[in-house]
Amino acid sequence: MENLKDYLFLDDVMGMNSKQIGKQIHSCSVLTPNYIFVIPKKAVGMFVIVNTIKTHDFFQGGDIANGVKKMINASDNIVALEESFKSLLENDERYVYPIEEAKTIKVKGFLGRKTLMYRKSAMNHMSISPKGKAIGKDLVEWHLGNYEKVMA
């Protein structure tokens, strides 16, 4: 599997969601044609899942981003990758976002920084903002090639 072709890996993003209002989630994200996964690195009030991730075999002795890369490399195909992330994140709606359930998915920009907005309903939404302009361009490219088609 190849980054930007089969999936998009964002190693440093700031996430927010309607389930945890006012909390910024320092995380990694993996976007596939079927899901958006937000893998928390640290956030106030979410230590249980972060501790669960750190005890997983791929994350021991390293940081979260390297563990995510190991999980990606260990997957034979996109379905296996999606299943491994759903299992890791306990299919928690705060971290696992099915594309088919989205009402809208948009990428917006401000001063070169891009933000992906995923909205299921007025009261159920999330956003991720990668750090760095080059990563923002990758996000736009991924969105146009994958999600824009689904949402049209």
Examine the pLDDT at 37 and tell me if it is beyond 80: yes
pTM over 0.95, yes/no: no
Query: 55: how many CB neighbours lie within 10 A of its CB?
Result: 8
pLDDT in tens, 38-75: 998 875 554 445 555 554 556 666 788 888 899 999 99
The share of the chain scoring above pLDDT 70, in percent, equals: 84
21-27 average pLDDT score: 79
Listed range (52-66, 102-116, 121-135) with the worst mean pLDDT: 52-66
Provide mean pLDDT across the span 68-95: 92
Q: For position 48, what pLDDT does the model report?
A: 46
**Residue 95 bridge partners (DSSP):** none
Q: What is the DSSP letter of 7?
A: B
- Measured on CA atoms in the order 129, 9, 63, 77, is the torsion positive or negative? positive
What is the biggest distance separating any 2 CA atoms in the chain, rounded to whole angstroms? 43
Which two three-digit tokens encode residue 64? 């979260």
Q: How many CB atoms lie within 10 A of CB 26?
A: 15
Quote the CA–CA distance of 17 and 23 in Å, as a whole number. Answer: 8
